[in-house]
Structure formats: C-alpha cells, structure tokens
Chain A
Amino acid sequence: MMKLKIRRQDGEKVWYEVFEVEDRPGMTVLEALFYVQEKLDGSLTFRYSCRGAVCGSCGMLINRVPRLACRTQISDLRKEPTNEGNPEVLIANKMNEEGNDEILIEPLPNLEVIRDLVVDMEAFYSLLDSVRPWLELREDVPEKENIVDQEMQVRLEQYTNCILCAICHGSCPVAARDKKYYGPAALAKAWRFDLDPREDDGHREQRLDIVNSNSGVWGCDTVYKCVAVCPKKVAPTLSINELRNRIELSGKKEDKKNDMKL
C-alpha cells in the first residue's frame, strides 16, 4: 500500500487529501492517479495524454520535485524522502533507509491553479509565443531539401527534443517572481531557431532583439534549476548562455530596447 497526499483546490479552498493506493511493481504516479480517479474519488483532476513521456501533459510536483508523473515510478519514490516543508529542495536528498510510503503530489509551481493538479498553461504558451518560435522561410528556398550537416542536426536535436511540458518553468526562480519573464522553455526555443542554418537572417535578428531584454536572456539567474529537472535533457540555461554570447558578439547588448520591465 502506498499513500498519495494530494493537494486539492477548487474555486474556494485549498486542502490536502490522502488516498491509499494498492501499488504493484512498475506502477507510475500517473497510474496511481488514475487508480484514485477511477476507484476512489472521480472528482480528482489532472492532465494526461501519451503516458510515455513524449507529450508533456503530466508535469507536476512530486515530493517537491517537478517531473512527469507518467515516467516516475512509485518504487523509486519509496527510496526518497518527501522533502515536505522544504520547498527549496528540488533534487531529492540521499536515500531513506526505511523507505517512504507516502508521496506528496502538488501542481506545477509558477502557473495559476485551475483545479487540483491542473494549472493554467495559457500563460506559459503566450510567453512562448513572445519569441516568435517558428522558422521563417528564406527567399532562396531550394527546390529539394536544404543541406544540413550531421553535426548541426545533432546540435539542433538537443533543442528540438523539448516537449513544452513547462517543468523547467515550474522550477525557475525568475519565473516565480516575474510573470513577464519568457522563461527557460521559450528561451531554449529562441536558441533552437537562432541556431538553425535554414532561418531567415532578418527574422533571426528580430528574435535576438526580443530576447535581448530583462524579460529575456538577461533576466536569468543562471542557477541551472531548469537543467536539473528537464525530462528531455534540453538544458535551457546553456541556450541562454549561447544567446547572451551571440548578443554580446553582435554588439547589441547596450540598447536592451525590449526591456519589458521598464
């Protein structure tokens, strides 16, 4: 038996509720949530889609660490303390010899809660849109494919692997205090397109001007929390550092003309 201590919220109140779940080998947190929803309390709500760690729907705070519920095994959680009362701890401490039989489940931080574990993703998507996250076609589009060397393909891949789960956003101290900060996912996306040799130069410059701001790359605390929690090893801080270098090399740093905080 395993206990799930789940943070509940409706329009009026917030409370914590404990559910007993019959666990089995290989069971994930998402499966445990389905067990609660189908057998114990149909009113519990959370998001899900693929259950295979590719869609990014089920990002939530599990034992105070933001992660995907679908790929977090109950058996692994038994080996770590719940970190309750210490919201600063993002990565679990050393193994607990006794084993834990209670899991703390809360919604992803830094986004408004709609109900239970469901947060408002619109805010996250709109920050993402700010960096114009798409490839603008150059005028000289080749008739066949663009030639892209393998090394570049691999460099791009690290960033195209992002699933927009917002787990990085939920771990980010800047996002916690500044709702206008584009956030790690959007800035990693900005670098993904800046890096792409197929991108139109004009559009690349436009995007660089957008992220050259305190809402953009200059807002980052570079404490690497997003890198620690990213389920796809995208490492947003690295892309923020790359963008900072690009801006400095291009001599744009002085103007910071899109400073959203001013």
Chain B
Amino acid sequence: MITHDVVVIGGGLSGLRCAIELYEKGVDVAIISKVPPIRSHSGAAQGGINASLGSDDSWESHAFDTVKGSDYLADQDTVEILCREAPDRVLEMEHWGTNFSRKDDGTIAQRPFGGAGFPRTCYAGDRTGHNLLHTLHERVLRAGIKVYREWLVTRLVIEDKRCLGFVAMNLLDSELEVFKTKATVLATGGYGRIYEKSTNAIINKGFGISLAYRAGVPLQDMEFVQFHPTTLWGTNILITEGARGEGGYLYNEDHERFMKDYAASSMELAPRDIVARSIQQEIDEGRGFPGGYVHLDITHLGKDLIEERLGGIRQISIDFAGIDPVEEPIPVQPGQHYSMGGISSNKDGATPANGLYAVGECACISVHGANRLGGNSLLDTVVFGRRAGVHAAGYVASLEEADDDPLEKALNNERTAISDMMGSDGESYSGISEELKKTMQENVGVFREKKKLQKAIEDIKKLEEKAKSLKVKTTAKEFNLELLNAIELKGMLDLAHSIALGALVREESRGAHYRTDFLERDDGNWLKHTLAYLTPEGPRLEYKDVNITTFQPQRRTY
C-alpha cells in the first residue's frame, strides 16, 4: 500500500497546478499519470489564455462575454471567480517562466478571440499550452514532487461518501497497487476519443470521468460537447482559433465568405458553436469541397506574421496535409474538441464525495455552460487547479486516519476483475470502440434530432452487452496496450450513454447542443443543469438550477 496525504490523478495543466499549490501549503502530495506529465493533452492547446490585463478591459466584461458565450448555462458565481482571478494566474505563469509573446513595449501581447469584446487572449505564438505545460512541469521538478509516471488508475475507493484512495496499475509491469489518501484530485482531461473526428490526443478517453461516475458521483451537463470549427481535414488536428483571431477568412467552394450569412457583425470571430454549425451547414448543403471541408485562408496575412504567430499551424499543415498556408488555404472541418460537461464539482473543485476533487476538463465546475469561449479552458485549469489545492490542503489538515480494510478489499476485487478479462474467446476492444466512435459521430454530432439520438442509445446498449464478454488475448506484462484499451473502453461506453441520453431528453437548442427538431432555446423548461447518476440500467437523470447573479438571460446575437 502506497500512502500520501493527497494524490493528483493526471499530469496536465490543472493537475500540475493543483499539486504545486498543495506542495506550497506543506502537504505530502504526489502525482499519478498514465503518461509523463509533459505528454498530456494540455500541450496541444494552441491559441491562448484569457485575462483582462488591459487597462480598458475589466473582469466584469470578461465575465459577461463568458456568460453570454455559455448561452446562460454557466453558473455566474463561478464565472466571477474565473475572471477575477485570471490576471493573477497569468502573471504568475509569466513569473514562473512562460515565454509569452510580447508587444513592442515588452509587456504580454493579447489577441482577439471568438465571442470576446476585447483582445483578451494572452498567447505564446501558437504553442500556448505547450509553453504553460512545460512551465508547470519545471515548477514540479523544482519542488521535487513525486510523480508516478505511466500508471493507470482503475478504480476509486469510496465508502460512506468519503474517498479513501484508489487502485492503480503500473503500466511497466501490469501490477496492481492500492494508494491510500486523505484526498484525491481527478485532473484527467476530456473524452474526445469517443468520437471518430476529434482534435484530442489519442489518450483522451475520459476514463477519469468514468472513475468518478462508477463510484457514485454524478456527471453534469454531459450533452454539451464542443465541436471546434476548424480542424485539419483528414486528421482533425486542431487549427487554432488564433488563425481567425489574426485575421483569417473562411470560404466555401464558391469562394464566398459565408459567415456573413450566419453572424454578420462578428463574422469568423463568432463563438465556436455558431462557426462550427455554419461550416457544417455549408458542407451539408453542398457548398463545401468534395470530401466535406471548407477553406481557412490566411495567405493574405503574409509569411512573416504567419511564421511569428502561427508557425506551429504552418508546420502542422505542411506535415499532415501537404499544404503550406503561406501559399494555399487550409482545408478544415468541424471536429469534437472539448467537453463542457464532466464530474459535478463546486467552485473549490469539491465533488459530492468527501475528499474527492475534480478540476480541468474532466470536471464540470460550470464556467463554460453550454459553449466554452476559446482561451477560457487554459484559464480554467490554472484558476481551479490552484483553488482545489487550497481547499484540499485545508480538508486534509484535520482528517483522521481511515481504515485500511476497504482499500485491501478493493485491490482484491480489482485483481479478480482484471484476471477475468484475460482470455482469447470473447470480443476484442477494437471492434466495439470503432462502432462506438462511428455512432457518436453520426448521431450525437453538431446537429442532433430525436431519431438519431435514439439510434445512438440503441447502439450503445448493444455495445455495452458485447463489452460484457470483452477479452484480452495479450498476456505480456510490460506496457500491455490491449489490456489498457480494454479497461478504458467500458468507461467510454458509460460516458457515451450519458451524453446521448442527456441530449435526447433536453428538448431545446442551447450553445453547442443544437436540436434540429427544437430550434429555440427554452429558458422556461431548460434553464437548468443535467445531472446523470449511473445505475445498472444506464444513466438516471436529475436536474438542478443554474446560479444567476448579475446577467439575466437574453437572446444571443453576434
């Protein structure tokens, strides 16, 4: 049994920021992650991090943009925290070494992003996530925080609504070990890989979210799935919103800047949900290019500016599409990008289970509501990562030692469960996973309607049945990918089911959730959060109120 006061599961931005806070508060903290921290998906974030640094900008203005962008589903008390704390967190990252792009006077540069009334997005070229991730990782090295690299957490141990620790598998030798903690922080990122077309890293299967769900913690607003408007056609690698922020245009096959028909005043800088739907509609109605894409044109920005501020996407376009955007437009299409929903948690990252916290994309602290604005997710990781650290440090300070028995029992149960999965006469994970991605892409995508959502749920139920006889043939101990993928697959099915069901029941269009059979937002019936609880029959849905303080819901126009 391995013991720490607090273990943070996940080594991306929110996990590292949380661990640093706990370390600075004098807590015995460790990080456990299925990939080394610098290989987390946070490193793929390109565009930037929002903070009202400008003297003519304000946190209130940032908060209004965020709430409006969220289609009024964000909780306004948490949005206030996000926007008030933003400048401090960004300056802190600068002090710790982030190499932000600069203005002529040497201060941090800011660029315009969709849905924002001010050029508020601080950036480090188009490698902002990479820069921030390495800065926090360097800070973790400086602190000497213990990192369990390449371990998969397979089960949380929660007894009497208190989290006592978890069981994890060392990927190096497939051995299980139990970790005893006073508090555990989930910082495991999103689930993009349950969709066929996603900007997410291949490792992003949402398994951390399913760990909490299976341990009885509710998931919140899972039907709100963000589709990024501009992902590279073919591989769906992200092409940052910064490309439009710097002045890029979208063209259809007739070389029309079609955004004039959808968001006449904001054009390409409308929020992501609107731009994604506009592109998809152009493609669906035959005005896209053969194969299903439109053009993102930045050629007029010139080679120097492209090299300086968008050098990463230039390289991506050359490497993965054979296109040099200095000379030719980039072929783009919408792809799954971000999960607004996740583990239900409050402004301190605390979940309904005592001692269990969730931060970053795996959590739903409800700052993004029905649609997240670009530049707010990196901000979310450092603001709420830190806050969860502060709160968890206070929580563990007064806690009594827990009993070891439930942990030992969970370890034995998990050993049995995994040995039961080994064998050669059942279903393999890859077939089930492929079918799941296909049905999510076709039926729970940018545009949704009753029949398609029902079809998705039927498909998922069939796949859940199949997954009961899932078997792993490979017996190798070291880095058994087949075993890793099989374990994570069951979590993917859980999440897909909660997304599809939440979307079927929510009979309105709000933010990224767009129903072609219910075109309007319906505040009378649906200005509320969805909560999904796992039962043997699938998700059971409940609802709770949205916290509205300052900004009364109004019609969203751009």
Contact A49 B234 (CB under 8 A): no
Are A52's CB and B44's CB within 8 A? Answer: yes
In the assembled complex, the Cα of A129 lies from the Cα of B44 at a distance in Å of 23
Whether B234 pairs with A26 at a CB distance below 8 angstroms is yes
Contact indicator A135/B138 (Cβ below 8 Å)? yes
B280 to chain A, nearest CB (A): 22
**Residue A94, interface by CB 8 Å:** no
- Is the CB–CB distance between A150 and B320 below 8 Å? no
The stretch that binds A, out of B153-161, B245-253, B458-466, B476-484, is: B476-484
Over the window 131-155 of chain B, the binary record of Cβ atoms lying under 8 Å from chain A Cβ atoms (1 yes, 0 no) is 1001100110110000001000000
Cα A53 to Cα B480 with chains together (Å) = 23
Are B107 and A121 closer than 8 Å at their CB atoms? Answer: no
The verdict on A45 contacting chain B, using a C-beta distance below 8 Å, is: yes
A118 and B131 CA atoms in complex are apart in Å by 26
Instruction: List, in ascending order, chain A residues with CB within 8 A of B100's CB.
Output: 145, 148, 153
Taking the nearest CB of chain B, how far is it from the CB of A64, in angstroms?
Answer: 21
In the complex, B266 has a CB within 8 A of chain A: no
CB distance from B55 to the nearest CB of A (A): 11
Measured in the bound complex, the distance between the Cα atoms of B122 and A77 in whole Å is 39
Is B131 within 8 A of A160, CB to CB? yes
**B97 at the A interface (CB under 8 A):** yes
Closest to B129 in A: A54
Instruction: Tell me the minimal C-beta distance from B100 to chain A in angstroms.
Output: 8
Residue from B97, B103, B131 having most chain A Cβ neighbours under 10 A: B97
A122 to chain B, nearest CB (A): 8
**Which of B96, B103, B234, B316 is the one whose CB lies under 8 Å from A52?**
B316
Q: Bin the interface of chain A by size.
A: 35 or more
A262 nearest CB across to chain B (Å): 27
Are A150's CB and B102's CB within 8 A?
yes
Counting CB contacts under 8 A, is A1 at the interface?
no
Question: Please, how many angstroms separate the alpha-carbon atoms of A160 and B43 in the complex?
Answer: 12
CB neighbours (8 Å) of B142 from chain A are: 132, 134, 136
From residue A164, how far is it (CB to closest CB) to chain B in Å?
Answer: 6
Contact of A39 among B124, B320, B430 (CB under 8 A): B430
Name the interface residues of A94-144: CB closer than 8 Å to any CB of B: 114-116, 118, 121-122, 125, 129, 132-137, 141, 144
Asked if B316 and A53 sit within 8 Å, CB to CB, the answer is yes
Known: A54-B43, A145-B108. A43 touches B97 (CB 8 A): no
Residues of the B chain whose Cβ atoms lie less than 8 Å from the Cβ of A118? 478-479
Q: Tell me the nearest residue of chain A to B105, going by C-beta.
A: A147
State A133–B430 Cα separation when bound (angstroms): 40
Asked whether, in the complex, the Cβ of B94 is within 8 Å of the Cβ of A146, the reply is: yes
Q: Does B215 contact A (CB under 8 A)?
A: no
Tell yes or no: A244 within 8 A of B by CB: no
The interface on chain B, measured as residues whose beta carbon lies within 8 A of the other chain's beta carbons, has a size of 61
* In the assembled complex, B454 has its CB within 8 A of some CB on chain A: no
In the complex, are the beta carbons of A144 and B97 less than 8 A apart?
no
Verify A42–B95 contact, CB threshold 8 A: no
For A71, list chain B residues within 8 Å (CB): 319-320
A116 cross-chain contacts in B, Cβ below 8 A: 479
**Interface assignment of A149: CB less than 8 Å from any CB of chain B:** yes
CB distance from A39 to the nearest CB of B (A): 7
The complex places the Cα of A201 from the Cα of B353 at a distance, in Å, of: 47
Q: Could you say which of B95, B105, B202 contacts A141, with CB atoms under 8 Å apart? A: B95
**A44-64 CB contact bits vs B (8 Å, 1 = yes)?**
111111111111110000000
Bitwise, A136-180 to B at CB < 8 A (1) or not (0) is: 110001001111111001101100110110000000000000000
B40: A residues at CB distance < 8 A = 49, 55
- Contact for A49 among B39, B105, B131, B238, CB less than 8 A: B39
A42 / chain B contacts, CB cutoff of 8 Å? 428, 472-474, 481-482
Given contacts A51-B202, A137-B95, A196-B97, contact A129 B141 (CB under 8 A): yes
Contacting pair A115 B476 (CB below 8 A): yes
Interface check B390, CB cutoff 8 A: no
The verdict on A49 contacting B201 (CB below 8 Å), with A115-B476, A118-B478, A160-B131 known, is yes
Q: Which residues of the other chain, B, contact A54 by a CB distance below 8 angstroms?
A: 43-44, 127, 130, 312
Chain A proximity of B174: nearest CB distance (Å): 11
Q: Does A254 contact B (CB under 8 A)?
A: no
Q: Are the C-beta atoms of B481 and A145 separated by less than 8 Å?
A: no
Q: In whole angstroms, how far apart are the Cα atoms of A2 and B149 in the complex? A: 34
Indicate if B10 sits at the interface (CB-CB under 8 A): no
A135 touches B478 (CB 8 A): no
**Per-position binary interface string of chain A over residues 29-47, scored 1 when its CB falls under 8 Å from any chain B CB and 0 otherwise:** 0000000011100111111
A191-207 Cβ-contact flags toward B at 8 Å (1 or 0): 00100101000000000
If A135-B96, A147-B107, A153-B99 touch, whether A50 touches B474 (CB-CB below 8 Å) is no
**What 7 A-B pairs come out closest when comparing CB atoms?**
A135-B97, A147-B106, A134-B138, A42-B482, A38-B430, A115-B478, A134-B142
Given contacts A37-B482, A153-B101, A160-B99, 15 further A-B contacts (CB under 8 A): A42-B428, A42-B472, A45-B479, A49-B203, A53-B315, A54-B312, A55-B38, A56-B39, A57-B35, A115-B478, A129-B141, A137-B96, A150-B104, A154-B308, A196-B97
B interface residues with partner A (beta carbon < 8 Å): 35-36, 38-41, 43-44, 91, 94-97, 99-108, 124-125, 127, 130-131, 134-135, 138-139, 141-142, 149, 172, 201-203, 234-235, 237-238, 308, 312, 315-316, 319-321, 428, 430, 472-474, 476, 478-482
Residue positions of A touching B, CB distance < 8 A: 10-11, 26, 37-39, 42-57, 71, 114-116, 118, 121-122, 125, 129, 132-137, 141, 144-150, 153-154, 156-157, 160-161, 163-164, 193, 196, 198
Query: What are 6 sample pairs from A and B whose C-beta atoms fall under 8 A apart?
Result: A43-B480, A50-B202, A53-B316, A54-B43, A145-B100, A157-B125
